[in-house]
Structure 1
Amino acid sequence: MRDVGKFYLEDGGRKNRMGKRWITDLALTMILLFLIGYSLIGEEIHEWLGLGMLLLMIFHHALNVSWYQNLKKGQYSPYRCVQTALTALLLFTVLGSMFSGLMLSQYVLDFLPLHGGNELARALHLPCAYWGFLFMGLHLGLHWGAVMGMARRIMNLHTASKYRSGILRLLAAVISCYGLYAFFHNGLPDYLLLRSSFVFFSLD
């Protein structure tokens, strides 16, 4: 009985950590979408959301500290190499966005003595933000199987359905195609390559 109780206690702990991870990841995704719409929400709200994202990123990495501990363990398959490189690039762009954001802050953290070099900070903030947006989408795509698994558990779906799978795959394909169209239509390559220093948002 003691072993059974220990098993359920450990299982409950894993579920609790997993729940925290998914809530944190969902919050990060939602905040990122609002942050990208900078011209729609204004600078002060943008800064508050950026600060919230910074705190959530710290919490996210604290929850996933075991990933760092396992970096030197096991063999590196091509998939793991891509995943690790993508995570490193995402971390680099997020740090660049956060640090440059601290330097540019005029509302939330304007008391910090980090206001020198605004031109460099602006030149860093925009490409880091958009590269981070791109890398986060790819990062999410690599973990899409886990996302769908969590969705099935939340919706209490225990049996496979070819009909449901077909609809979801079709929906994913449509969203991906639209995302590719929007990527070029909205000129994101210009922001990624710093060919444009300003973001123009169109509702068309």
Structure 2
Amino acid sequence: MKWAEMYNSKGTLIKKKNVKPIVDILMTIALLLLMSYELIGSTAHEIVGIVMFVLFIVHHTLNIHWTKSLFKGRQTPLRIFQDLLVVLILICMLGSTISGVIISRHIFTFLNIKSAYVATRIHMLLAYWGFVFMSLHLGLHLNMICMMIKNKKQISPIVKTAFKIVFALIFAYGIFVFFKRDIAGYLFLKNQFFLLGDNEHLPFYLLDYISIMFTFAILSHLISKQLRKRK
């Protein structure tokens, strides 16, 4: 009986490990599409928003152990940083979902809620801060990827150096795009509307936001490395 229980428990754990990366990838894709509101259209934006919320619930269900152990164990600087990011993401996700329902033009119009102006400002604010916090959260997983590259004996030093150069170039381009697209203006509500340049194309727009996401992820990775050194 005990053997059967161990077998079932292990089987469930393997399934979770297989599902988690898929859910994370889908959430990343959904996040990038949500940041492309003007290019994908309002109807698609609302549909992707619902999908994102469902994936968010699935993600937390798969990581329920984090919620259960939130106030347990030793609170190291790295753990505080990780937990703070998750709490901020939760606030942004819930806030942007509620405000998104309020300002809905298609799916939730039957609710007939009239606080559209304030909700629009809140939705934009939480959407961009949520993008930043989620990008920082992704950076916490970069350490595993970097360690895999570092410890791979089959990879030559030249290839490892090439990886570093590519990461540095993407990081630099992400900083450039951050200022080019005035992301700070959205983060602090200086921009009241989504501003797109002439002849904007979705693939290039997504590449820019991927670069910004990668830049914040690298920044979070560097912060976490420093926090690991502190006891």
TM-score by length of 1: 0.86
Give % identity.
33
Choose between structure 1 and 2 for higher RCO, CA contacts under 8 A separated by at least 6 residues: 2
1:166 aligns with 2:164: no
| Alpha-carbon shift at residue 30 of structure 1 (Å) | 0.2
Q: Secondary structure at 1:195's aligned position in 2?
A: coil
Residue 126 of structure 2 is aligned with which of 107, 125, 128? 128
Task: Provide, for residues 150-179 of structure 1, a one-character-per-residue CA deviation record: whole Å limited to 9, x for no partner.
Answer: x98xxxx97553444333232222211111
Alpha-carbon distance in structure 1 between the residues aligned to 2:73 and 2:159: 36
Q: Tell me how many residue pairs correspond in the alignment.
A: 196
Alpha-carbon distance in structure 1 between the residues aligned to 2:7 and 2:102: 48
| Alpha-carbon shift at residue 19 of structure 1 (Å) | 1.6
| AA in 2 matched with 1:28 | M
Q: Secondary structure at 1:116's aligned position in 2?
A: coil
1:34 aligns with 2:29: no
| Alpha-carbon shift at residue 24 of structure 1 (Å) | 0.6
Task: Provide, for residues 106-133 of structure 1, a one-character-per-residue CA deviation record: whole Å limited to 9, x for no partner.
Answer: 21222235x2211110010001111111
Q: CA RMSD in A?
A: 2.4
Aligned to 2:222: none
Alpha-carbon distance in structure 1 between the residues aligned to 2:195 and 2:103: 19
Task: Provide, for residues 12-36 of structure 1, a one-character-per-residue CA deviation record: whole Å limited to 9, x for no partner.
Answer: 4322101211111100100111110
| Alpha-carbon shift at residue 102 of structure 1 (Å) | 0.6
1:84 aligns with 2:83: yes
| Alpha-carbon shift at residue 9 of structure 1 (Å) | 5.0
Aligned to 1:50: 49
Alpha-carbon distance in structure 2 between the residues aligned to 1:127 and 1:88: 16
Alpha-carbon distance in structure 1 between the residues aligned to 2:16 and 2:53: 20
Aligned to 2:176: 181
Of 161-170 and 29-38, more deviation after overlay is shown by 161-170
1:61 aligns with 2:60: yes
| AA in 2 matched with 1:132 | G
| AA in 2 matched with 1:120 | V
Alpha-carbon distance in structure 1 between the residues aligned to 2:9 and 2:152: 23
Task: Provide, for residues 81-104 of structure 1, a one-character-per-residue CA deviation record: whole Å limited to 9, x for no partner.
Answer: 111111111111111111100101
Aligned to 2:218: none
Q: Secondary structure at 1:133's aligned position in 2?
A: helix
| Alpha-carbon shift at residue 67 of structure 1 (Å) | 0.3
CA 1:187–1:100: 2 relative to 1, 3 Å: same
| AA in 2 matched with 1:105 | S
Q: Which runs of 5+ in 1 are unaligned?
A: none
| Alpha-carbon shift at residue 186 of structure 1 (Å) | 0.4
Alpha-carbon distance in structure 1 between the residues aligned to 2:121 and 2:102: 12
Q: Secondary structure at 1:111's aligned position in 2?
A: helix
Q: Secondary structure at 2:105's aligned position in 1?
A: coil
1:94 aligns with 2:93: yes
Q: Which runs of 5+ in 2 are unaligned?
A: 205-231
Alpha-carbon distance in structure 2 between the residues aligned to 1:16 and 1:165: 32
TM-score by length of 2: 0.77
| Alpha-carbon shift at residue 195 of structure 1 (Å) | 0.8
Alpha-carbon distance in structure 2 between the residues aligned to 1:141 and 1:45: 28
1:13 aligns with 2:12: yes
